[in-house]
Amino acid sequence: MHSGQYQDKNDEQLAALAINDPHAFVPLVRRYEARLLAYIRRISGFSKEDAEDVLQEAFMDAYRHIASFDNNLKFSNWIYRITHNRTISIYRKKRNSLNNYSTDDEDLGFERVLASNEDIQLKAENTITKQKVKQILDQLPPRDKEVLILAYMEEKSYEEIGDILRAPMGTVATWIRRAKIKFAKLADKEKII
């Protein structure tokens, strides 16, 4: 099958084809690399280069295990789960040597807080707010940070978060509710809400 013929295939179809045709995995990488790279950076604080290394390992894991993908599931949830697990594994290994967090607003930004290009003052204020939000997220326990990022930055549903973190939807709802309460308390303390 020619690479142009993959464009009309959905993720699950490409995953099925990739079992016997490595070229079918390439469009999946292209579809997910930017989103997953941003996700890795958000939950880990890795530099762009380190996050790219993690992403490469996650894609290699996904390709190696593509035959075990269940076509009844959404491919996006499956690839996020693999990426999440790989990121957490590497984060734990690097935790002691991780001293600073990237402040590259273009890659880490909260899209809903971005200012218009015409209002420089508002953009500066929003940049400060984004930095404060990032600081508050960094103060949260890892699970709280992860569920808030998945729910509000990655815009995943409770069901999708449950698939990614391997938890029932009720548990996800509880985690998110508790994380939002903790976030709100810290934000109130920091005077950003």
Arithmetic mean of pLDDT, 155-179: 93
Tens digit of each residue's pLDDT (9 = 90 or more) over 65-97: 999 998 888 999 999 999 999 998 888 787 645
**Sign of CA pseudo-dihedral 90, 39, 43, 130:** positive
Tens digit of each residue's pLDDT (9 = 90 or more) over 127-163: 667 778 888 999 999 999 999 999 988 889 999 999 9
Q: How many residues appear in the chain? A: 193
Other beta carbons less than 10 A from residue 102's beta carbon: 16
Domains of the chain, with CATH numbers?
1-101 (1.10.1740.10), 109-193 (1.10.10.10)
